[in-house]
Each structure stands twice: as structure tokens, then as C-alpha cells.
Chain A
Amino acid sequence: MDLVVGDAAKAASPAALQRPVAQIGLRVLTGIAAFLSFAIIFLMLFFLIAYAYPAIRFNGLAFFIDPIWNIGNQYGSGVTTRNGFSGAPGASFGALVFIYGSVITAILTMVVAVPLSLMVALALVFRVPRRIRPLANALVELMAGVPSVVYGLWGLVVLVPWIGRQFAPFVTAHFGFIPFLGGQAGSGNGLAASVFILALMVIPIMVATTRDVILAQSPAIFEASMALGSSTWQAMTRAVLPSVRSGVVASILLAFGRALGETMAVLMVCGAAVNVFPQNIFSPVNTIAAVIVSQLESALTDATGMAQRSLAELACALFVITLLVNIAARTIMRNADRREGRAA
């Protein structure tokens, strides 16, 4: 009897042993992964702030309110010292122009992209004929996969000349009475070109995510709403969109983050304005991400290192802006859910 039990135990043991080991292994691995995702973000922020600390002290509050970014006279003698930290003579790093540029391009991009994306996503789910739907879906996904530098190159070669020669002169001439649309038509490089390019880049992302949440949740809601006698438009805007609101907000957040952080394509078409605010939507602008790339090269020659550290401070600022946007969006969502008596 013992022998039999022993045999049975022996026979069962590999599988019986494997399962707990595999489970423990999986738990440990996922635990490490979950921990790492926090740890990496935290460490990145920590090192960034530690590296930028001399710049934070050197620049003080002027970093956020001064529009002049001056890396100082690299070939001059002596140093400029503030709060115990030194930069090149005459150096002062004010990031207001770049912070403003980042925020305004991202917001305008959302103004263009959000309605378009929602309409495209709804159309893809409810209106596009079944036969060409796979093709349309594939096209959207293809657009999402195009590298940003390709958009940038297209922008520089095709979009910018078009804006500079046709679009901007037309708009300033006929709609110049509207604030922010009048004034100089400019060269084509600028805010409008950046917003166009960014919208092209974020629309596929928003369409793909919005389409998926609609598909996952709402065909039944749509049909129910139609059955109650609403028009297609009413069914889409009053029934479907509210039901997928958290998914839509998530996709807007994703797109907003992308628009804030996009570097190369923006750098190629934004006109890289320094020390000057945009006068209208055709003025050259600059964003935090584009400035970090374009100024790194000369910052490397700063013997005091303050220019590099100030770029790190810019990176911190971008990090914080992204964080604030996230928190704000989540707060808005939670409040909206609470009003409607739903759990967050």
C-alpha cells in the first residue's frame, strides 16, 4: 500500500512540483517587471533632477518667466556665477518661449486632431462598407507606423512650401481679422506646419485606439439607441461616445503626450524660433523637445557645463508638464464619473 502511494506520489511529482515552481517564477517575474516600471521612471527623474540641480539653482525662477535663452559668451573670459554655480559669461537660461511653444503646439494639435479622429473612428466602425473596412483599417495602422522623420521630411519639402506660398498668404489676406490669423504670412516654417504634421502623426494613434474601444463595447449600444428611434448621428454622439469616454480620454492623453514629446518632425518644420513668441499661427515656434536636440550640440562646447545642465532642466520641465496633463485629465474623469454616480 505504502509502496503504491509512494509510486503514485513519485509519478505525480514532476507535474505537481512544476506547477508551484512555475507559479512562483511567474509571480516573481511579474513582480520584478512591475517594480522595474516604477523604478525606471523614478530613477530617470531622480538622475535628471540631480544632473539639472546646478542649473535649477543657477537659473532660479527666471527659467520659467524669462523668454531669453542665452548660453553665454563661450569665447569670452571669466564666468557668471549665481547661487554658487557658474555658467559661461553672460549666460541666462529662460525657457518661457519653449514651454509656451510646446504647450500651444500640443493644444492646437488636439483641437485639430480630436474631432477628426473621433469622426474617422466612428466612420470606420459604423459607416465604412464592410468590404473596404479591412483596407481602411490597414491604412490607418500604416500611417501610425510611419517614422516621424519621414513626416518631417515630407513636411519640409511639400507642406512648408505650400503653407508659405499658398495657404498662409490666403488665410492672412482673407481671415486676417480673426486674432492669431492675421499679420505676416511668413516662410511656411512655423506653428501651422508643426500642428499639421503633429495632427497627421497623432490622428492614426487616436483613431486606432478609439476604434478598438468602440468595437469592444458599443455595437449593441449603437443598435439599442437606433432601435429607440435616434438618428445615426444621435446614436453615435449621444450613446456610443459617452459609453467609451474613458477610452477616448486615454487615447487623447496618449496623443497629447506624443505631440508634446515629438522632436524630429517638429524640429524640421517649426522654424526654430528663439527668444521670440509666435505672433500668429504662421510664426516660427520652438518646442522643448526640439530645443533639447538643436541646442545639445553647442551645449557640449560649454566649458562650464551649465548649458547641458540647463537642457536637462528643460527635460525635467517636459516631464513635469506631461505629469500635470495626466493628473489633470484623470481628475476631470473622476469628477465626471462621480457626477454621474459611477465608480471611478
Chain B
Amino acid sequence: MRKTMALALAALLLVSVGGRALAATTLLETGSTLLYPLMNLWVADYQKVHGDVQITTQGTGSGTGISQAISGVAQIGASDAYMSDAQRTQNHMLNIPLAISAQQINYNVPGLNNVHLNLSGPVLAGIYSGTIQYWDDAQIKAINKQYAGKLTHNQIVPIHRAEGSGDTFIFTQYLSKSTPSWATGPGFGTAITWPSVGNAVGATGNPGMVQTCQNTQYSIAYIGVSFLTQTEKAGLGYAALQNQAGQFVLPTGSTISAAAKALDSKTPADEVLSLIFAPGSDSYPIVNYEYAIVNPQQSDPGKAAELKKFLEWILDENGGQSEKYLNAVHFLPLPASILKLSKAQVAQIK
């Protein structure tokens, strides 16, 4: 009997705690695992000054983010990729850039992990479609003359994401834009039909990519730039990539923002634009907007107001765009002209 009473009391307590949370306006953010750490930094600080709103964050993957924003379960669906035309014609959703991210090409080649190999879209496409199988392939040597002696006859293990992923989207978009045969073949998307390469490995999540690349000698992987600290700790090398102008550039703050700046005047009002393979000799080729997918017609006016306030704060130079948040995950702030477009989209939320 006393046990039952105690249980009942505990249940009551749980309900009352839950009840208190429900008293404030609640927002749910769910989706991209790449944006998730940054979202947590944002939400923690935002809630310190806005105690009247309760924001829950979830790292569930971009696809889940988009579908739950459409169904109305979540107010913000975080996605590394903008929605496809087919999806946007079915559901009118805003695609609002919140920050700029990039992707590194990592490799585990004994003796070369402390230097930066040069890699290009066509070479990567060759590796991931099985036409380039060894590290001493003539095409790899041709763009790495200074390391030609160190590139040995060892088989390359291409690692790709096992599950659907925004990282796969931007990586395969780079291959598609730089290599015509990839564009007409596997193409790009959050999950694609990978060519049949016998020793290719699928890994789950960016942490799984880091782990598998570290475990597997002579492997190559594409990993979000927010995992830079982890890839360095794992002792992986990262490549300088060939951009549209033919230059090999490393992912740095200046080359990533150069790519964003090269395209900011071309960004349309709905901000659905790929930053991949941007023009300009300094532009890093795999750069993308991190999106908030938001339904402009919110069902609850109270939530709509809080949602707008939170998104406006994220898009504020002194708020969410400040370096103390973005540097922590190696993201970059949006250029002023893009901030303006994003704010205009936020203003459409009702």
C-alpha cells in the first residue's frame, strides 16, 4: 500500500513538473545532427533571457526535420539540404539559412596524414565509382607531384554515409557539378545509388565516419567541418579541393566565406541555392547553408510569435550570429545581404 502511495506521488510529481513546462509556450526544433550542437548553444543562451518560452532540440536527421516541420510536429526542421522542388510544390515551406557550414575530405594514408593532398571532383568521383582503385593511380599522382613517391600501391577504401544525410547531399552535389559523368550517373541527393564498389564501407553518422576512417588504413571519407576537432584528434589528414577556378584550396574561414560571398548576390528571395562549386579562385568548393525549414502558416499564433522572436535572435549579429557560438562548431556567420533575405522570410511567418 505504501509502495502504491509512493508510486502515485511520484507520478503526480512528474505530471506537475511536466505541467509547469507546458504553462510556457513550447517550441520544438528537430533535424540535422550537424546543426544540433550549435542549436543547443543557441537555445541555452536564448532561454537565459527568454524564460517564457521552452525550446526543445533534437538531433534526428535532416529528413526527419523536414517531414516533422511539414506535419506540424516541430516548429523548426533543421536541414543541411534545401527541400527539393517536388517537395516544395506539395508543401509551401520556408527554407531559411541560419549559418554557413562546409565539409572536409578526410583520409587515412600512413605517412601522408600530416600533409594536405590535393583532390579534385573528378578524382573523388573516380574513387567512389571504383575506376580509381589505388592511391598510386596516375590521376592522383598528377595533382600531387610533390608526394608522388609516398603514394603507394594500396587499395583505397571509400567510406560513405550508410543513412540519408545532408553531408551526402553536399558531397555528391560537388561530384555532380564538377564531373559530368557523375551528374548523369549516380547524381546527388541525401541518399544516392552508390556505384558498386566491393570494398566501399557505409558508416553511420559523422562520428561513425571519423571512427571508420581512423580504423581503416588507406580509406577516404567526407565529414562535416564541425567535426574538425575530432578528425584532428583521430590523426586524419584533410585534402585541399579543386574549385571551379581550378585552384586547390583548404577549408578555412576565408575560403569558406569567399564561396558564400561569391554567390550572395545570386541568392533568390526563397534562398534555395546551392553554394557548392562556387566561382572565384579562393572559394572552397563544398560549402552550404544550414537551413531552418519552417511552415509560414503556424496553427498557434502564440507559437508563431515566439518562433519569429527566436529566429530573429539567431539572425542577429549580436545574437546567434556572434562568433562565440559559430566558432565552437567551425561554422561561419551569414553575409549581411543573406541575413536580410533570411529576416524577410522570417517576417512571413504567421
* Residues of chain A having any CB pair with chain B under 8 Å: 68-71, 73-77, 79, 88, 90, 156-157, 160-161, 164, 184, 186-189, 267-268, 271-276, 279, 283-284, 286, 290, 293-301, 303-304
Q: Are A157 and B211 in contact (CB under 8 A)?
A: yes
- Given A74-B190, A75-B188, answer yes or no on A267-B196 (Cβ-Cβ < 8 Å): no
Beyond A294-B202, A297-B191, list 13 extra A-B contacts (CB 8 Å): A75-B85, A184-B199, A186-B201, A189-B203, A268-B204, A271-B201, A271-B202, A275-B195, A298-B165, A299-B164, A300-B63, A301-B66, A301-B83
Q: List 11 A-B contacts (CB under 8 A).
A: A71-B192, A156-B211, A184-B198, A272-B201, A276-B197, A283-B199, A293-B163, A294-B164, A295-B163, A296-B164, A299-B63
- Given A73-B187, A156-B211, A301-B66, answer yes or no on A187-B193 (Cβ-Cβ < 8 Å): no
Question: Which single residue of chain A is at the shortest CB-CB distance from B155?
Answer: A184
Is B62 in contact with chain A by the CB < 8 A criterion? yes
- Contacting residue for A275 out of B90, B190, B194, CB 8 A: B194
CB distance from A158 to the nearest CB of B (A): 10
Q: Roughly how many angstroms separate A299 CA and B197 CA in the complex, as a whole number?
A: 23
- Given A73-B187, A73-B189, A275-B193, answer yes or no on A187-B84 (Cβ-Cβ < 8 Å): no
Q: Are B85 and A77 in contact (CB under 8 A)?
A: yes
- Contacting residue for A71 out of B85, B191, B201, B204, CB 8 A: B191
Q: Are B190 and A301 in contact (CB under 8 A)?
A: yes
- Contacting residue for A186 out of B62, B81, B199, CB 8 A: B199
Which residues on the A side are within 8 Å of B26 (C-beta)?
Answer: none
Which residues on the B side are within 8 Å of A284 (C-beta)?
Answer: 199-202
CB distance from B214 to the nearest CB of A (A): 9
Which residues on the A side are within 8 Å of B191 (C-beta)?
Answer: 71, 295, 297-299
- Contacting residue for B189 out of A71, A286, A294, CB 8 A: A71
Which residues on the A side are within 8 Å of B164 (C-beta)?
Answer: 294-301
Residues of chain B in range 80-94 having any CB-CB distance to chain A below 8 Å: 81, 83-87, 89-90
Question: Which single residue of chain B is at the shortest CB-CB distance from A280?
Answer: B198
Q: Roughly how many angstroms separate A279 CA and B212 CA in the complex, as a whole number?
A: 20
Smallest CB-CB A-B distances: 10 pairs: A298-B164, A272-B202, A272-B162, A298-B191, A303-B86, A297-B164, A300-B63, A187-B216, A294-B163, A70-B193
Which residues on the B side are within 8 Å of A70 (C-beta)?
Answer: 193
Q: Roughly how many angstroms separate A186 CA and B86 CA in the complex, as a whole number?
A: 39
Which residues on the A side are within 8 Å of B163 (C-beta)?
Answer: 293-298
CB distance from B198 to the nearest CB of A (A): 6
Q: Are A189 and B201 in contact (CB under 8 A)?
A: yes
Question: Which single residue of chain B is at the shortest CB-CB distance from A286?
Answer: B202
Q: Are A68 and B193 in contact (CB under 8 A)?
A: yes
Q: Roughly how many angstroms separate A70 CA and B185 CA in the complex, as a whole number?
A: 12
Which residues on the A side are within 8 Å of B198 (C-beta)?
Answer: 184, 276, 279, 283
- Contacting residue for A187 out of B81, B89, B201, CB 8 A: B201
- Contacting residue for B165 out of A186, A290, A297, A299, CB 8 A: A297
Is B104 in contact with chain A by the CB < 8 A criterion? no
CB distance from B350 to the nearest CB of A (A): 24
Q: Are A273 and B200 in contact (CB under 8 A)?
A: yes
CB distance from A292 to the nearest CB of B (A): 11
Is B215 in contact with chain A by the CB < 8 A criterion? yes
Q: Roughly how many angstroms separate A199 CA and B233 CA in the complex, as a whole number?
A: 33
Q: Roughly how many angstroms separate A293 CA and B200 CA in the complex, as a whole number?
A: 19
Which residues on the A side are within 8 Å of B63 (C-beta)?
Answer: 296-301
Which residues on the A side are within 8 Å of B202 (C-beta)?
Answer: 271-274, 284, 286, 294
Question: Which single residue of chain A is at the shortest CB-CB distance from B193?
Answer: A70
Which residues on the A side are within 8 Å of B294 (C-beta)?
Answer: none
Is B307 in contact with chain A by the CB < 8 A criterion? no
- Given A300-B67, A301-B84, answer yes or no on A76-B193 (Cβ-Cβ < 8 Å): no
Is B64 in contact with chain A by the CB < 8 A criterion? yes
Which residues on the A side are within 8 Å of B246 (C-beta)?
Answer: none
Q: Roughly how many angstroms separate A187 CA and B199 CA in the complex, as a whole number?
A: 8
Which residues on the A side are within 8 Å of B188 (C-beta)?
Answer: 75
Which residues on the B side are within 8 Å of A188 (C-beta)?
Answer: 215-216
- Contacting residue for A75 out of B189, B193, B211, CB 8 A: B189
Is B301 in contact with chain A by the CB < 8 A criterion? no
- Contacting residue for B87 out of A76, A161, A273, A301, CB 8 A: A301
Which residues on the B side are within 8 Å of A272 (C-beta)?
Answer: 162, 201-204
Q: Are A268 and B85 in contact (CB under 8 A)?
A: no
Which residues on the A side are within 8 Å of B87 (C-beta)?
Answer: 301, 303
Which residues on the B side are within 8 Å of A69 (C-beta)?
Answer: 193
- Contacting residue for B157 out of A156, A187, A279, CB 8 A: A187
Is B219 in contact with chain A by the CB < 8 A criterion? yes
Which residues on the B side are within 8 Å of A187 (C-beta)?
Answer: 157, 199, 201, 212, 215-216, 219
Which residues on the A side are within 8 Å of B67 (C-beta)?
Answer: 300-301
Is B335 in contact with chain A by the CB < 8 A criterion? no
Which residues on the A side are within 8 Å of B195 (C-beta)?
Answer: 275
Q: Roughly how many angstroms separate A73 CA and B184 CA in the complex, as a whole number?
A: 10
Q: Are A189 and B62 in contact (CB under 8 A)?
A: no
Residues of chain B in range 39-83 having any CB-CB distance to chain A below 8 Å: 61-64, 66-67, 81, 83
CB distance from B249 to the nearest CB of A (A): 26
Residues of chain B in range 172-195 having any CB-CB distance to chain A below 8 Å: 187-195
